[in-house]
Amino acid sequence: MANLRQVVVRGGPSGLSQQIEASGHPMIADEPFELGGQDSGPNPYDLLLASLGACTAMTVRLYADRKGWPLQGITVKLQQERVHAKDCKDCESEGGWITQIDREIALSGSLSEEQRQRLLAIAGRCPVARTLQSKIEIQDRLAAE
């Protein structure tokens, strides 16, 4: 795989706080107090939503810049929840639960309605969104000691 970047996560002997190094950039993940953590950083789902939000904003920015459109700023607000599949009008699953992510995108600048709609469509094609919407396989193995 070309340009393979690595994320390393290290947990200590106790507690839920995790030290993360993502391609040389340090971060912390934790759970809130009510879930047994110390609330010293975002939880794993917050990090997932942050990844999607950042990718969305970057994708929209790149497209607007390439087109020379007057996009002054973009704000992406995200929430996720588990909903019963029968309550989801666009879901393919007939039973069980699915994770639903709501993504609200605010665009500032002197954009036409046509440009706004095109940028909304482009947002849905960001690489992280495509990854989350595809079948994902996770292969686990124990590291040598």
Angle at 77 between CA 75 and CA 78, to 5 degrees: 145
The domain limits of the chain are 1-42, 43-133
Q: Is 58 helix (H, G, I), strand (E, B) or coil?
A: helix
Residue-level pLDDT at 59: 98
Q: What is the pLDDT of residue 1?
A: 46
- For residues 32 and 12, what is the distance between their CA atoms, to the nearest angstrom? 17
DSSP structural state of residue 89: T
> Strand pairing partners for 9?
20
pLDDT of residue 9: 96
The per-residue pLDDT for range 98-144, each reduced to its tens digit, is 889 999 999 999 999 999 999 999 999 999 999 999 999 999 999 99
| Alpha-carbon distance values, 52 to 101, 118, 139, 143 (Å) | 10, 19, 22, 29
Read off the pLDDT of residues 69-104 as tens digits, 9 standing for 90 and up: 999 999 999 999 887 666 555 556 556 788 899 999
Whole-number Å distance between alpha carbons of 51 and 44: 11
Helix (H) or strand (E) holding 65: helix 44-67
Which residue type is seen at 23?
S
Fold of 43-133: GMP Synthetase; Chain A, domain 3 (3.30.300)
Q: What is the pTM of this model?
A: 0.86
Residue 59: closest CA among 131, 114, 143, 138: 131
1-60 pLDDT tens trace:
456 789 999 999 999 999 999 999 999 999 999 999 999 999 999 999 999 999 999 999
